[in-house]
Copies of this chain bind each other. A is one copy, B any other.
Amino acid sequence: MKIDINTRKKKCSCMSCELRNLVFSFLEEADVQLVCETREEKSFAKGEIIHHEGDMIRDFKYLKSGLVKLYKTTSEGDEQIITITRPFEFVSNTSIFHEEKYRYSLSALEDSIVCCIRIDLIRELILRNGKFALNLISVLSRTSENIISLSLEIRKRNLAGRIAYVLLYFSKELYHSRIFELPVSRKEIADLISMSSANVIRTFSEFRRDGIINSNGRTIEIPDMNKLEMISMRG
């Protein structure tokens, strides 16, 4: 097999990374190389913690593959889940530019790869590349906006409505399928929607009884989207 020399030279995967255009589209080649040389790609197994709240912030991080949850542990020891996101949505965004330490913890719900770039380098790039800065602002504010929007959507609904909303979120936004594997426990759904896990489970059972979902453990099927959407809208 013939391999083009130039292709071979670009051994750094950043050049061809599908996420490159998300943040780094406005960088010159040399700067992409710089990012690429200093970056670290870290793998996390399902369940592993990527960082704890209180850890020092050294890197700008984004998810390359997998699924993560951002959460805070309250003084009573229970988790408040802030958001569950896939690649192309930034993580650890809030606070990295104005604080020393993470306010929230981040852990992997599925095997995940996180790209870490020294925050100092990102700062440097912002300083000398306005287009990069402008694009970054746009991406960061979209991430924050998604978190705020999620919290508004959840807090206006009752128990059934919240669960319907979350199921639709998984189905439509995360998996693009009527059938999917829940990446979280019932308890974690409870922590996301601020309800007790017993009542989350009960609602699942009711949805199953009423033919709104079919579920077997973490496997979920939504036979009729409309029904679930009705519940999400009215609840």
- Which residues of A pack against B, CB within 8 Å? 72, 74-75, 80, 82, 93-99, 103, 123, 126-131, 133-134, 136-142, 144-145, 147-149, 151-152, 155-156, 194, 233
Contact = CB atoms under 8 A, between A and B. Distances in A.
A137 B137 contact: yes
Main secondary structure of the interface of A (DSSP, over half): helix
Contacts of A134: 97, 123, 126-127, 133
A211 B80 CA distance: 32
13 contacts: A74-B156, A94-B148, A95-B141, A99-B145, A103-B149, A123-B134, A127-B131, A136-B137, A137-B137, A144-B147, A144-B148, A148-B148, A148-B151
Most buried by B among A131, A134, A145: A145
Given A155-B155, A194-B155, A137 B144 contact: no
A95 B142 CA distance: 7
Nearest to A144: B144
Most buried by B among A97, A149, A233: A97
B97 A152 contact: no
The list of the 4 closest CB pairs from A to B, nearest first, reads A127-B130, A144-B144, A133-B133, A98-B138
A155 B97 contact: no
Contacts of A142: 98
Contacts of A75: 233
Contacts of A95: 141, 145
B103 A141 contact: no
Nearest to A142: B98
A95 B156 CA distance: 21
Given A82-B148, A94-B141, A98-B142, 19 more contacts: A80-B152, A95-B141, A97-B134, A98-B141, A98-B145, A126-B137, A127-B134, A130-B130, A130-B133, A133-B137, A137-B137, A137-B140, A140-B140, A144-B148, A147-B148, A148-B151, A151-B151, A151-B155, A155-B194
